[in-house]
Amino acid sequence: MKVEIIVIGDELLIGQVTDTNSGYIARKLNLVGVEVLRTTAIRDRAEEIITAVEESLLRVDTVIVTGGLGPTNDDITKKTLCEIFGGEMIFSKATQESNDALFARLGKEMNSLTRSQAMVPDCCKVLPNPVGTAPGMLFKRDGKQLISLPGVPYEMQKLIDDQVVHIFENIGNTEKIFHSTRVVTGFTESKLAIYLSEFESSLPSSIKLAYLPKPNIIRLRLTARGNNEESLYCDMYQATVRLDELLKDNIIAYDDLTLEEILIKLLQEKSYTISTAESCTGGGIASKITSVAGASTVFMGGVVAYDNTIKTNILGVEEESINVYGVVSTQVVEQMAKGVADKFMTDCTIATSGIAGPSGGSKQKPVGTIAIAVYCKGSVQSRLITIPSVNRMRNVERFIDLALYDIIKMLI
């Protein structure tokens, strides 16, 4: 089964908000064998909504629309869909009652605008939204369907999980989709592609190989698509076995795991604890680690030592080392790594100090330079490297990835 997604909102087209809804929907629908062919982002304009919806309905049988269901004047999706499917707006008692209950729970009062959320097109099936005032809507025409969902991510997610996924499960798709991902290290993307070229060309037509490179690692994704689940499963099994043989020790994860997930798994396997001492990454490493559910089994905590006084007073870095080697140096981060290990009594630690930018660099240590130390059970490793970028956000993200990579390599 193939669908298209349309996300609606001026804020998406001026870059004020990043669309994460379509990705969420795609991930959830993939699991029940639904393929997303296209995602279109359009503005809150009736004529543009009508055009995009009609175009999509020509290409696929099901279109999912998110956004533009708020109570304010700039939100026009509901009215426009009502027009497209030729209906009238009517009062939905069930929606009003659901919204009343929601407001009572939140201790808020309804007003004329929130009350207007209970007006729905008479040509749709209402998909109740227990966590917001805008219900989902299911429209049908000529054997095709359109599902409209609110743009607020958690409201959309609730509707997808509890209702939309089941709509597709009930249709009974004939096509199946499997993905299998390996996280690989020790190759550049092109070296890996050359190394795997024979493997790739020998794959059955049902299986496609994709490369998703990140600094230091490459995610390799095998995707199997077809109607015969059994033979597809067989093809995929053989392909992954051969891939695993070819890459052996270069594989650092057999699932589509993030670096932080790989780290936590490794620490759990070894029953090690970890803490962090961060300067330039500003809590980003701790934040990444704690984004994984279950991090508390291995992560004790950390120090964000942004100012130099925190490095000396809290982590016991020698002031002389800062003066002699500079605060961005392997000497200083090694002391930070040992300092937080002592203080937080953990088996492993990660320490960072660098220049994220956009300013603050020098000739010897330009913006993009970072010193990283990783520590485990008494031994410490460190390095100083420079990324050729003055983009602060990008540098911090890269710094975090590099540091996570270093500790993973030490533990593997």
Which parts of 50-89 interact with a copy of itself (CB under 8 A)? 52, 55, 70-74
For a copy of itself, the closer CB: 122 or 307: 307
Binding piece for a copy of itself, criterion CB under 8 A, among 85-93, 168-176, 285-293, 321-329: 285-293
Give yes or no for residue 316 binding a copy of itself (CB under 8 A): no
SS3 23: helix
Torsion, CA 108, CA 112, CA 116, CA 118, rounded to 10: 50
Interaction residues for a copy of itself, span 129-188 (CB under 8 A) = 131, 153-154, 157, 179, 188
In the chain, the largest separation of any two C-alpha atoms, in whole Å, equals 78
Give yes or no for residue 255 binding a copy of itself (CB under 8 A): no
- Provide the H-helix boundaries in 133-271: 153-159, 165-171, 189-195, 197-201, 229-247, 259-270
Interaction residues for a copy of itself, span 98-127 (CB under 8 A) = 105, 108, 111-114
Q: What are phi and psi of 347, to 5 degrees?
A: -70, -40
Selected binder of a copy of itself within 306, 321, 366, 381 (CB under 8 A)? 306
Smallest gap from Cβ 123 to a copy of itself, in A, equals: 25
Smallest gap from Cβ 334 to a copy of itself, in A, equals: 19
CA-based angle 201:203:207, to the nearest 5? Answer: 125
Selected binder of a copy of itself within 86, 166, 190, 237 (CB under 8 A)? 190
Selected binder of a copy of itself within 33, 284, 339, 354 (CB under 8 A)? 284
> Do strands 62-66 and 144-149 pair parallel, antiparallel, or not at all (unpaired)?
parallel
**Binding marks (x or -) toward a copy of itself, 361..390, rule CB under 8 A?**
---------------------------xx-
The amino acid occupying position 78 is K
Peptide bond into 358 cis (omega under 30): yes
- Please check whether residue 133 is in contact with residue 114, taking contact to mean a CB–CB distance below 8 angstroms: yes
Binding piece for a copy of itself, criterion CB under 8 A, among 28-36, 77-85, 261-269, 321-329: 28-36
- Residue carrying structure tokens 């089941």: 166
**Binders of a copy of itself: how many residues, by CB under 8 A?**
104
**Binding marks (x or -) toward a copy of itself, 322..341, rule CB under 8 A?**
--------------------
CA distance 114 to 219: 45
SS3 374: strand
Give yes or no for residue 225 binding a copy of itself (CB under 8 A): no
